[in-house]
Structure 1
Amino acid sequence: MTTQRLSIGFVVNPFAGIGGAVALKGSDGAETREKALQLGAELKAGCRAEQTLSVIEPYRDRIQFVTAAGAMGADLLEQRGFFYQSVYQPDQQQTSAEDTQQAVQCIQQQGVDILVFAGGDGTARDVYQCLNETQLVLGIPAGVKIHSGVYAVSPKAAGRVIERLIKGQLSSLHLADVMDIDEELFRQGIVKARRFGEMLIPAELEYVQAVKMGGKESNELVLADIAAEVIERTDDEHLIMGSGSTVAAIMEEMGLDNTLLGVDWVHQQQLLARDLTEAELYQRVKEQNPGRVKLVITLIGGQGHIFGRGNQQLSPRILRHVGRDNIYLVATKKKLEGLQGKPLLMDSGDEALDKDWSGLITVITGYHDEVVVRLQAIE
C-alpha cells in the first residue's frame, strides 16, 4: 500500500531580512535591497528555510513539494534531496513582491495541502493578497519585521508543525492576523502597525507566535524606575542600547535622542553613535576590554523574543563578545505577565549560542526590583 504524500507549496523570499544587520529596518522595495547589498548584507532567508527542511528530512518519501525555481525554493529542495515540481520561474535574479505573488498563484493551482513561505511581514502581505481564503498556510520567520501571527516561533518550529501534518496528527486550525508596519515611519522611529487581513494556519500554540503587542508602555513611573536602576548600575561602561520603547525610556531619562528601532552606543550618558549596523557595532565591541560593554535590551511584548526579531544587528559574534552576564534585560512586570507564563525566547541564528544562554535570567522590572524568568532556545 502506497502512502499518499503531503503536498506542500514552498516559497522563499530570498531577500527577506536583508536589511536587518545593516540597520535598514526592513527589506521592502528594490532600492532598500540594493542599498543593503552595497552595505555588505548577506542573503539569509534561504538558511532559515533550510532549518525547517532539516526537521522534515526523515519524511522525504512522504512529501511532494510544489515550488518556484532557483532561490525561491527549488535550489534548496534540490540540495536536500526532496521530491519537487517547479511551477514558476522569476524573470530576474533579484526577485520582487510580484514574483512572490505569481509563485503563490501558480502553486495554488496545483491544489497543495499547505503553503509554507519564508519571509517577514512584507512577504506575508504579498502572500495574503493573492491567497485563496481556504488555503492553509504557515510562515517561516526570516524577515526583519515579524508582527504577524501567521509565523512559527522559529524555522525549526515550522518544521515540527509540518511534521505533525505528515504524521496525520490532529491539528486545530484558526485564523491569524497578517500585520505590517510603515517602513518609512519605522526608519524614523515610529511604529505604526496595520492589520491587513487573516490567513488560515495550524493552531499549534507552542510552535506558532502570537501577534506582537504594539504601542508604548502606559506606566511611565515604572519605566522611569527601570531607567533609574540602569543608570545607577552604570559607571564607566559602554552601553549598547537596543530597540524598543522600554529602552527608549532609559534614553529619555538620560536626555538622549533614541533610535527606537535601531541600536545606539552610549558612554557616560553621552550618545557616541546611533543606529549602528552590525559591522559598526562589532568593531566598537572588539575595541573594548571584556566586561566593559553592557547590552540594554527588552523583549517583544506578547511574544517574548529577545534576539532575532527586529534587532539582527545584535549578531551571534557580538553577543559572544558582550557575554550573557553583561546584559541588562529590562521590562515591566505587566509586560512579563502578558506572556502568561511562557519563557523568553532566544533565536540569534546560532543554535549553540542559544542553547548556551538558555536558563534562568534576571529581568530589571523597577528601581532595585528584579525578577527571574526562564530564557529558552527555540528548537
Structure 2
Amino acid sequence: MRLVGLVVNPIAGMGGRVGLKGTDNKVEEARHRGAEPRSPQRAREALEHLKKQPEAIELYVFGGMMGEDEAVAAGFSPIVVGSPEREETSADDTRAAVRCFVERDVDIILFAGGDGTAVDVAETLEALDDETPVLGIPSGVKVYSSVFAVTPRAAGRIAATFDRTETREVNDIDEDAYRGGEVNTELKALATVPVGDEIQSSKQIGGGSVEALAAAVAAAIREADATYVLGPGSTLDAVKAELGIDGSPLGVDVWRDGDVLARDGGEAEIIEALGERNVIVVTPIGGQGFIFGRGNDQISPDVIRRSEIEIIASKQKLSDIGVLRVDTGDPELDRELRGWRRVRVGKFERQLLKVV
C-alpha cells in the first residue's frame, strides 16, 4: 500500500483569470474582481486519477478546504491529520500539514498550489532534514519550479506509480516585480521528486533575438481584419513593440485596427474586447512547452473557443522543448487542442510540433 499525503492551498491560482499574475497579498483584490478558487478543483482531478490506479492508496490530508473536502469529493475516505487554525489559511498551515505527513512516514506528499506553495513544502522538509518525495499539482498562476506534474491527472498517475526519484529545483519569483514586467527568479530549495516524463522542467529565462519573427508577425497582424489577443512573454513583447503599442510584457493585451482594447486584461476584459473574428497569439514557455495554462490563465477556455490560435517561436526554442503542452483547466478543451500544430518560426516558414 502506498501512503500519500495531500495538502491544498485553497487560494492558489485565483489571480490568474483576473489578470493579477499571482495571489501573494492580492487575495481580496482577486475576490473583488470575481476570482474563484482554482486549486480545489485541480486537486480533485488529480485525486480522481490517483484513485483509478491499481496501487492501493491510503490518503492522509489536512482538514477542510486544505485537502479533506477534495479527497471526500473524489471518493476517498481520508485520514485527517490536522486542520487550519483559522478560516483564512496561510503558509503556516501548509508547513504544519507537511510536518504531520512526515510524522506518519508517507511515501509522497502531493500539494496543490504554485511556486509559493512549493517553497513552503520544500523548505519545511529541508528544516526537518527529510527527503520525502513531493509532487506539485499545478494550480498557481506562476509555476516556474521543476517539481510539478504537467497536469493534475498526471500528478495522480505519477503519485501512485513512480519507482525512482531525483533532486529538482524549487524556484520562485518576486510577484510585485512580475506584475511590473520583470521576471526575477530565485532558487529557494531543492526537493526529492519522482522521475517521469510528465514532470515539467524549470522555466528557462531569456533567449536569442526574435526581431525578424516579431516583425513578420506584426506585419501580418496589421494586414488582417481581426481582433488579436496577444499573450505574455519576451517573443510577444517584441511583437507588441513592432506594433508600436505599450503592451504588458507579462500580461495579455487585446489589439484591433491599431488600438489597444485591453492592456494587461483579465478574462472579463478580454472577452468584452473580442470581435467577430479573433486570433490568439501565444508562444510556448521555454523549457516547458506550455502554450496555455502557465502564466496566461486570462486566456480562458471561453476565450480560446471563440478564437483561432497562432503559435510563434524561434527555431531554437522549439528544438529545446520538443513538444507543446496545454493545461487550460478544461479537460475536454485540452483533448481538442492536442495533436499536430503549425508553429510560425519566420516570415514564411512554419514548423510542425505536437501538442501532447
Match in the other structure for 2:229: 240
Match of 1:250 among 233, 239, 242: 239
1:311 Cα offset (Å): 0.6
Which one-letter code corresponds to 1:159 in the other structure?
Answer: G
What TM-score, normalized by structure 1, do the two folds share?
Answer: 0.89
Q: Which runs of 5+ in 2 are unaligned?
A: none
Structure 2 counterpart SS, 1:147: coil
Distance in 2 of aligned mates of 1:202 and 1:243: 30
Q: Does 1:369 align with 2:349?
A: yes
4+ runs deviating over 6 angstroms: none
Structure 2 counterpart SS, 1:179: strand
What TM-score, normalized by structure 2, do the two folds share?
Answer: 0.95
Once the two structures are superposed, residues 3-29 of structure 1 have per-residue CA deviations (whole angstroms, 9 ceiling, x without a partner) of xx2111110001110000011111123
Distance in 1 of aligned mates of 2:189 and 2:265: 34
1:228 Cα offset (Å): 2.1
Q: Does 1:121 align with 2:123?
A: no
1:61 Cα offset (Å): 8.4
Distance in 2 of aligned mates of 1:104 and 1:261: 32
Instruction: Answer yes or no: is the 8 Å Cα contact 1:65–1:84 preserved in 2.
Output: yes
1:104 Cα offset (Å): 1.2
Match in the other structure for 2:56: 62
Which one-letter code corresponds to 2:217 in the other structure?
Answer: V
Distance in 2 of aligned mates of 1:244 and 1:161: 30
Once the two structures are superposed, residues 240-273 of structure 1 have per-residue CA deviations (whole angstroms, 9 ceiling, x without a partner) of 1100000000111122212111111112333232
1:60 Cα offset (Å): 8.7
Match of 1:297 among 282, 293, 300: 282
Q: Does 1:312 align with 2:304?
A: no
Residue identity over aligned pairs, in percent, reads 39
1:59 Cα offset (Å): 5.2
1:332 Cα offset (Å): 0.2
Which one-letter code corresponds to 1:352 in the other structure?
Answer: E
1:231 Cα offset (Å): 2.2
Structure 1 counterpart SS, 2:140: coil
Aligned length: 351
Q: Does 1:162 align with 2:198?
A: no
Match in the other structure for 1:193: 185
Distance in 2 of aligned mates of 1:61 and 1:242: 41
Match in the other structure for 1:168: none
Q: How does 1:1-379 map to 2 (within 5 A)?
A: 5-29=1-25, 32-58=26-52, 62-131=56-125, 132-165=129-162, 171-204=163-196, 206-215=197-206, 217-219=207-209, 223-234=210-221, 235=223, 236-285=225-274, 288-289=275-276, 292-322=277-307, 326-339=308-321, 341=322, 343-376=323-356
Structure 1 counterpart SS, 2:317: helix
Distance in 2 of aligned mates of 1:375 and 1:8: 30
The 1:140/1:225 distance shift into structure 2, 3 A limit, reads same
Structure 1 counterpart SS, 2:251: coil
The 1:81/1:352 distance shift into structure 2, 3 A limit, reads closer
Distance in 2 of aligned mates of 1:304 and 1:352: 20
Q: What RMSD in Å do the two structures reach over aligned CA positions?
A: 1.5
Distance in 1 of aligned mates of 2:260 and 2:69: 45
The 1:163/1:135 distance shift into structure 2, 3 A limit, reads closer
Q: Which runs of 5+ in 1 are unaligned?
A: 166-170
Distance in 2 of aligned mates of 1:55 and 1:262: 32
Distance in 2 of aligned mates of 1:162 and 1:227: 41
Distance in 2 of aligned mates of 1:108 and 1:336: 40
Which one-letter code corresponds to 1:49 in the other structure?
Answer: A
Distance in 1 of aligned mates of 2:46 and 2:202: 21
Structure 1 counterpart SS, 2:268: helix
Instruction: Answer yes or no: is the 8 Å Cα contact 2:147–2:200 preserved in 1.
Output: yes
The 1:87/1:276 distance shift into structure 2, 3 A limit, reads same
